[in-house]
Amino acid sequence: MRELIAPIYAAADRYLYWLNMPTISKTDVAEIIIIAFILYHILLWFKNTRAWMLFRGILVILIFLAIAGIFQMNTILWLASRLFSVAVIALVVIFQPELRSALEQLGRKNIFASLFNFNLQKDTENKFSEKTVNEIVKASFEMGKVKTGALIVIEKETSLSEYVRTGIELDAIVTSQLLINIFEHNTPLHDGAIIIRGNRIVSATCYLPLSDNMRLSKELGTRHRAAVGISEVSDSLTVVVSEETGSVSLAVEGTLYRNMDAESLKEKLKELAAVSEGDTIVGKLKRRLNDAAKDSKAHNK
């Protein structure tokens, strides 16, 4: 029997040597867990700050350099190698606010308590409902009638936590009455912007970055420039009510849609944020029931 098995072992050692698994010790397992933990929190930090957009830009450059290497574009590779040291310093300068904030948070955080807090469950409440859209639109045009200025930022995928921290925390359900009351003149919360996350107002009196776009009309004030500014650095949607004219505008991706009516604003918000009730499972079920009821009435007639 051994004479039959011996050639098989010999052949396996000769041709399948690459299948031999390396010896993994407890130290190796611990190192893998630590590196995975660090990488996870680095990616989470990127995602929760504006650094995520800058990081995606860097990835595009790296892909371009990889293509240049594959096709042996020596001039591009030579320039990239010469600029690498400068690029590292530039990245530190660009990410300086985010790096400082991350280090401050690291100093305040209880590391051992958060070691296994990976928060794998996705927060489904980040998607706001059609009711929230209706409340925002209703409040905007009510304030427009009496020329009450307002700045309403709706968070989408890009986190606005750094701007939330500049304001006063609220954590209140979005209603038209509350929005009108917040922006009423001579109230403590009327100055600045409010930020909406999901179906809740998370913060008021927030400071936003102003746009440097020279193509914006000179008649636009600070409120409109702030709306365009936040839309340039994130994928947020910002509703602006002019204090001078009462007109309602929407800022998205650096573009300002001015003098909108209630119906067009509502449709635009649903289109850009994909929050229409028909996009949800319950909404689809309701729509099918309504269609069935209409078909039944038409058939009875």
Cα distances from 136 to residues 49, 139, 216, in angstroms, run 26, 5, 25
The string of pLDDT tens digits covering residues 249-291 is 999 988 899 999 999 999 888 887 664 444 444 454 555 555 5
pLDDT at residue 241, rounded to an integer: 95
Backbone angles phi, psi at 129, to 5 degrees: -95, 175
Of 188, 280, 253, residue with least CA distance to 53: 253
If one looks up domain 125-275 in CATH, what number appears? Answer: 3.40.1700.10
**Could you give the maximum distance between any two Cα atoms of the chain, in Å?**
99
> What is 226-240 written as a DSSP string?
HHHHHHHHSS-EEEE
For position 121, what pLDDT does the model report? 42
Task: Quickly state the pLDDT bin for 139 (edges 50, 70, 90).
Answer: very high
| Confidence band for 194, pLDDT divided at 50, 70 and 90 | very high
Between CA 251 and CA 233 the distance in angstroms is 12
- In this structure, the strands spanning 150-154 and 193-197 are parallel
pLDDT at 88 over 90: no
| Mean pLDDT value across the chain | 78
All residues at 6 or more sequence positions from 52 whose CB lies less than 8 Å from its CB, including other chains: 46, 158
Residue 262's pLDDT is: 92
Domain locations in the chain as residue ranges? 24-108, 125-275
Q: Which of 226, 256, 266, 242 minimizes the C-alpha distance to 146?
A: 242
Pick the closest to residue 98 from 54, 62, 60, 59 (CA basis).
Answer: 54
The better pLDDT of the pair 91, 137 is held by 137
Strands (E), 81-179: 150-154, 168-173
User: What is the average per-residue pLDDT within 208-232?
Assistant: 88
Mean pLDDT on 209-218: 84
In the prediction, which pLDDT does 123 show?
46
37-84 confidence digits (pLDDT tens)? 888 877 777 666 666 667 777 788 888 888 988 888 888 888 888 888
For the chain, give the percent of residues with pLDDT over 70.
69
What share of the chain has pLDDT > 90, as a percent? 30
CA torsion 283→153→137→267, rounded to 10°?
A: -50
pLDDT at 27: 87
For residues 114 and 215, the model is more confident at 215
Taking the whole predicted model, whether its pTM rises above 0.85 is answered as no
- Confidence label for 238 from pLDDT (cuts 50, 70 and 90): very high
In Å, what is the CA distance from 182 to each residue of 17, 74, 142?
72, 60, 13
Say whether 101 sits in a helix, a strand or coil: helix
Distances (CA, A) of 118 to 34, 38, 75, 112: 13, 12, 44, 13
* Mean pLDDT, rounded, for 231-237: 87
Question: Which pLDDT score, from 0 to 100, does residue 234 have?
Answer: 85
Confidence label for 122 from pLDDT (cuts 50, 70 and 90): very low
